[in-house]
Amino acid sequence: MRRTSTPHSAGPTPPASEPTAPVHGTWEPAPATRWEDAFLSGNGRHGVMVFGDPNDDRVIVNHHALVRPNGGEHARPPALAAELPSLQDRLLAGEVTAAERFTDGRELQWVQPFHPAFQIRLRRPAADTSGYRRSVDFTTGVTHAQCADWSSRVFVSRADDVIVQQVEAADLVVTLDHRLPSAPAALVVGQSIVRACDGALLTLRVRYPGSDRAYTGMTLVVPAGGRTALVPPGARVTGAASVLLLTRVVRHTGELDTAAHVDALRDLVAESGAYAHLLDRHTPLHRAAYDRVTLDLAADPAERALPGSELLDHPKSPALLERLFAAGRYHLLSASGMLPPRLTGLWTGDWNTAWSGAFTTDANLNLQTASAAAAALPEVTEAHATLIHGQTAHWRDNARAIFGTRGVVAPAHTDGESGHIYHFNREYPLHLWTAGADWLLKPLVDHDETRGDRDPRTAVVLAEVARFYEDFLTRTDENGHVVVVPSYSPENRPANASWGTINAAMDLSAARHALRTAARYHPDTPDADRWRALADRLPPHRINEDGALAEWAWPGLADTYDHRHLSHLYGVWPLDEITPYDTPDLSAAAHRALELRGAENDSAHGHLHHALIAARLRDGDRVAHALDQVVGGDFFHASLMSAHYPNRDVYNADAAHTLPAVLIEMLVQSTPDRLVLLPALAPTLPEGRLRGVRTRFGAEVDLTWTRDGATAVVKPSRTVRVELRTSSGDDGDKQPLDLVAGEDHVLTLGAW
């Protein structure tokens, strides 16, 4: 394979046959009838789900802060530290069920459930709906629905943190309604309507039963001409050229003085042409982030023109992968702000959201945000960091209470407020999971490497993780290795033992990585040498009798292969501990473990986690198969938001948000000192272009490929030497690549 590298100050020469640009949006020929199919918009705080019904439209309003009190807000980690030495003794002595009694006897406590705020309903007399079409523009976040005599545009402003809707209709009744599926009957609800801005102000206040916590929604209805009548609980507008609606949600304790919030809404309509003015303020902020990375798979223009629901019936179509890639980045960006995406992103239309609509941190959250660094969405990583840094005091409580140590231990499940560990039981002993802090900090480390600067906040938490391991890793085996005991591999168990065991592969990888990374962030301290020495005392991974990397590196523990989680391959992805280049024997064992892994209940996150690991192991066929299971398994709603299970069962953002990371990993991978091009390209994608992907050595990469070869333009922001690897993967393939900040380098690859 021929490769050349040439300094180049101009941009790349476009291919001779530039394909038609992919569609950056989706559309449907009919309104949504299920909230799961409603089009989505959000700014990382507020979110909307827009049905687009001309005669009875609904806009479901969400806010990241809305979680319903259920007792979890007062829960604390179990005080078990005094019992830890006895548990360790019993496990090391071979008592395989000992950890089942390591509890304070509490029942399983769910975290506070995420829920919708209310729906804005916009009714009008039945009218002509010919020519109907609804769409969402990923580049602006605007959802648009229209027919012969009606139109509606909705977006959520990043500049002004307000939901903006403009409706053109001759006769319109607007109400706010909290009565969405599963809404508790005991909610204390109050509504009011007053005249404002030649229109009306609608207010909905909801207080949770048995609590002084509440939230208030406010919608300012501003007509352009016409007449407004107050028709409690809503307002009726007739004869207006258009109607502007501005909506905000405020969570509060006790009573809320709404005056300041109402004044802020009034200020937003002071300018003439308020909708256009608000959109002009919002669009540059959203578009700048969305446009950084694009994927073009040279799809058939006719398929690109299909509505999303019809395109989903073409699971082998490159046009579908293009649209899902674009939608995934759009939804991920829209869901990330004050917090990262929940299990449902930023959206739900049901008060009884699966798994509390929380953040499951032992797999789902990191999978959803997996593309953040490479796909140039630092906004997502900053939201992820906000979650972590807002909870580290609770993480310290966990370490002290459960393990009697300094440092921090992260929870496997959180509502975004409490970082305390209290969600666990016998089958899910999540309080035994010690790898969580390293797993959750890894995206922040990737972000630092990508931008070339270390966040001091990340350095502080890494040091606390290292201190936890100093205090926790006190037991040793007969070879002098420190032992992780108790140990837990989410959410699996050995075939011949209980869930709480010894030396789970994820725990070994996490401890090694955390200690060595903390030392890198604190190189000139006495702690660094001590942390590196402790990392070196951890045992190696074990290869079992099947030739696979074992999930538990402790003699006698048998693997359970049919499981949705792949925690034991943490060293492959997202870590760089096990690679085909540096550790070929371990890489082969990891690949064997991947071959043996089942899909259990066909969870979307399991399939795409499998694909991410396969991409790191250079197995393009396995990546393609895992993608096929999701894209061809009816996991996507017409909104292009996804489900947890096949046949669109359980609304869940895992597949939607993770898929862009899979497509990037099959095309471009990087470490601080390595660039890998086309490592695992699916054979079904013979040509295309990935533009704007970021690397962990501080460069931007544009990659164009066909069956005849590929061209990569590397645009470094710092001067560095890296190792270049391409699709063949053998040792003869590697070569040094010297990059100079500010100079583009064009790499030409032969046929693959």
141: pLDDT strictly greater than 80: yes
Neighbour-count burial for 699-719, b at 16+ CB within 10 Å, e otherwise: bbbbbbbbeeebbbbbbbbee
Over range 532-546, report the average pLDDT: 98
H helices present in 220-258, as ranges: none
Q: Is the model's pLDDT at 686 over the cut of 80?
A: yes
Cβ atoms of 604 and 643 within 8 Å: the answer is yes
Share of the chain above pLDDT 90, in %: 93
**Stretch 678-699: mean pLDDT, rounded?**
96
600 to 488, 492, 498, 613: CA distances (angstroms): 19, 11, 18, 17
User: Greater confidence, 731 or 514?
Assistant: 514
- How much of the chain exceeds pLDDT 70, in percent? 96
Grade residue 747 by pLDDT with cuts at 50, 70 and 90.
very high
- pLDDT grade for 12, boundaries at 50, 70 and 90: very low
String of DSSP letters for 117-141: -EEEEEE------TT-EEEEETTTT
> Band of the pLDDT at 730, cuts 50, 70, 90?
low
Average confidence score pLDDT of the chain? 95
**Residue ranges of the domains in the chain?**
3-19+689-749, 28-67+114-291
Top-confidence residue, 726 or 670: 670
pLDDT for residue 9: 43
Three-state secondary structure readout of 544-572: CCCCCECCECCCCCCCCCCCCCCHHHCCC
From the centroid of its chain, how far is CA 596?
27
State the pLDDT confidence band at 8, using cuts at 50, 70 and 90: very low
Query: Minimum mean pLDDT among 9-13, 175-179, 267-271: which range?
Result: 9-13
Q: Which residues of 305-314 are buried (b: 16+ CB within 10 A; e: fewer)?
A: ebbbbebbeb
Write phi, then psi, for 533 (nearest 5 degrees). Answer: -65, -40
8 A C-beta contact, residue 301 and residue 27: no
Is the pLDDT reported for residue 752 higher than 60?
A: no
pLDDT computed for residue 323 by the predictor: 98
Helices (H) and strands (E) counted in the chain, each on its own, are 17, 30
- pLDDT tens profile 366-410: 999 999 999 999 999 999 999 999 999 999 999 999 999 999 999
Give dist(CA 246, CA 48) in Å, integer.
Answer: 12
Task: Note the pLDDT tens digit of each residue in 150-178.
Answer: 999 999 999 999 999 999 998 999 999 99
641 near 347, Cβ under 8 Å? yes
DSSP assignment letter at 259: H
| H or E element at residue 7 | strand 3-8
Torsion angle of alpha carbons 20, 611, 367, 490, nearest 10°? 170
Asked if pLDDT for residue 211 goes beyond 60, the answer is: yes
Tokens of 231: 């028709």
Distance CA 103, CA 110 (A): 16
- Residue type at 441 in one-letter notation: L
The structure tokens listed for 696 are: 């962990």
Taking only the tens place, the pLDDT of each residue in 590-601 is 999 999 999 999
pLDDT for 204: 98
**C-alpha to C-alpha distance for 377 and 293, rounded to whole angstroms:** 9
Structure tokens at 96: 């395989």
- Nearest Cα neighbor of 286 from 166, 167, 164, 404 is 164
pTM: 0.96
Report the CATH number of the 28-67+114-291 domain: 2.70.98.50
pLDDT number for residue 7: 52
